[in-house]
Amino acid sequence: MKIIIAFLIFGLVITVHELGHFLLAKRAGITVTEFSLGMGPRLLSFVRGGTRYSLKLLPIGGSCMMLGEDELSDDQGAFNNKNVWARISTIFAGPFFNFILAFLMGLIMISIRGYDPARVTTVEENSPAAEAGLMAGDVITEFNGSNIVFARDIWAKSYFKPVNSTDKISIEYKRDGKKFSTTLTPGIVSAYMLGFYYNGDANEPTISTIAEDYPLYLAGLQVGDVIKEINGDSIKTGLDLSQYMEKHPLTNEKITLTYLRDGETTTVEVTPKLTESYNIGFSYNTSFEKTGVLGVFRYSFSEVRYWISTTVKSLGQLVTGKIGADDLGGPVRIISEIGNVVETSKEFGFSALVADLLQWTILLSANLGVMNLLPIPALDGGRLLFLIIEAFRGKPINRDKEGFVHMIGFVLLMMLMVFVFFNDIRNIL
């Protein structure tokens, strides 16, 4: 059932993308030779109005194949025989329809669940936030020059550009319907750390993230290793590990740590690293609140904006090397993650499950829209780049050269797909 749900979401996102190309192509009088869902061999197909409609074996893609898109043709309905603006609108329609789908799914999701306001929940006593005048109940509307709509916006701001200095932070907020502004000076907090994350629950204390240049990474530990002992004390669950850390705060003294990997235990000695972090002194809401009709429309736009922005910033981190190729996820990983969502959300009721699946649909649809607009050969963005150059030049680039560039791009994309597929399998295993 989890796989079926994931395929349904994939199918919807891809169908809407290809439908955008299809509808604008038909409107421009371009001959669509085949409109298909999936890739590989055909399972079902029929011809109507000069177009073959196909359902194919592998539910990981789709296509809207147009006459004369990659080759010369004398046919009046050939893609390259239409004016440049008709071709631009046809290519752009795919990603744009993904953004429309994300917005429509946002309307339903926010109607069901509401939105997560950036409401301050607690302010630490004598903290920078307290000194700046913030109080529980204040709603943050701007954080250091960035507009804040959701609580997630503060998280994204901190994740993509973490506070790493004592430079003043400007904050705007609402209290009792009135607007206020203040500045906050982050405080420095020093602590000894090992450099890893885990879930502090009743499951095994498995390392979920490990930081480079920190003791555990330098000692050879990896994501997926399970902590079994610290200084001779047995650790069975994440909760045990959390309680141990509370009772035995890390210092500059060496500790002995035993971990499990592939059925074998290894014991290492590590010295915690003194780390400075910056504290702003307040926490914010992570729950959802209902809103009215106008709010549903407003926050649906903001939902699409959030995921487009997050996708673009994540790509920036990939390009700059802040996240590695191993962090890339493809269809297999997405199916696995959607399965996890189904497993955890169903405990909170049907409406919670639907809302979480809708959010995944929004994420994937916005992501597909952004990725297809990248100026990479064989993607919509690559084709748009050639068409925009043609519009400014007043004449097209040599068709053979353009076709060769797109062919090279397609081969590279297929190689990337193979890498991501095996990377997904390896990460899941």
Please list the active-site residues: 18
Three-class SS state of 71: coil
226-229: which pairs have CB atoms within 8 A and are 24 or more residues apart?
A: 226/259, 226/260, 226/261, 227/198, 227/257, 227/258, 227/259, 228/258, 228/259, 228/260, 228/265, 229/256, 229/257, 229/258, 229/267
By the 8 A CB rule, do 309 and 300 touch? no
Cα–Cα distance, 106 to 355 (Å, whole number): 9
Distance of CA 229 to the CA centre of its chain: 35
410-414: which pairs have CB atoms within 8 A and are 24 or more residues apart?
A: 410/377, 410/378, 412/377, 413/376, 413/378, 413/379
Tell me the residue type at 280.
I
Q: What is the 3-state secondary structure (H, E, C) of 143-206?
A: ECCEECCEHHHHHHHHHHCCCCCCCCEEEEEEECCEEEEEEECCEEEEEEECCEECCCCCCCCE
Full DSSP string of 122-147: EE-TTSHHHHTT--TT-EEEEETTEE
Cα–Cα distance, 344 to 357 (Å, whole number): 12
Give the DSSP H or E segment for 306. Answer: helix 293-320
In residues, how long is the chain?
429
386-393: which pairs have CB atoms within 8 A and are 24 or more residues apart?
A: 387/84, 387/87, 387/88, 387/91, 388/88, 390/84, 391/84, 391/85, 391/88
Q: Hey, what are 306's tokens? A: 């959030």
Tell me the residue type at 215.
P
Cα–Cα distance, 104 to 98 (Å, whole number): 10
